[in-house]
Chain A
Amino acid sequence: NAGVMQNPRHLVRRRGQEARLRCSPMKGHSHVYWYRQLPEEGLKFMVYLQKENIIDESGMPKERFSAEFPKEGPSILRIQQVVRGDSAAYFCASSPSGGFNEKLFFGSGTQLSVL
Chain B
Amino acid sequence: ELKVEQNPLFLSMQEGKNYTIYCNYSTTSDRLYWYRQDPGKSLESLFVLLSNGAVKQEGRLMASLDTKARLSTLHITAAVHDLSATYFCAVGPEGGNTGKLIFGQGTTLQVKP
Contact = CB atoms under 8 A, between A and B. Distances in A.
Interface of A: 4, 31, 33, 40-45, 48, 55-56, 58-59, 91, 93, 95, 98-109
B97 A55 contact: yes
Interface in B28-63: 30-31, 33, 35, 41-45, 48, 50
B100 A42 contact: no
Contacts of A31: 98-99
B12 to A, nearest CB: 16
Main secondary structure of the interface of A (DSSP, over half): loop
Interface of B: 4, 30-31, 33, 35, 41-45, 48, 50, 88, 90, 97-106
Nearest to A55: B97
Contact of B99 (A44, A98, A101): A98
Nearest to A104: B99
Contact of A95 (B30, B31, B98, B102): B98
Contacts of B33: 103-104
Q: Which of B43, B50, B97, B101 has the most CB of A within 10 A?
A: B43
A106 B4 CA distance: 20
Given A93-B99, A95-B99, A100-B98, A106 B106 contact: no
B45 A100 contact: no
Given A40-B106, A45-B102, A56-B97, 5 more contacts: A40-B105, A45-B101, A99-B98, A104-B99, A106-B43
13 contacts: A33-B99, A40-B105, A41-B105, A41-B106, A42-B103, A43-B43, A43-B90, A48-B100, A93-B99, A101-B50, A106-B35, A106-B44, A106-B45
Given A106-B42, A108-B42, A42 B105 contact: yes
A43 B42 contact: no
Contacts of A59: 100
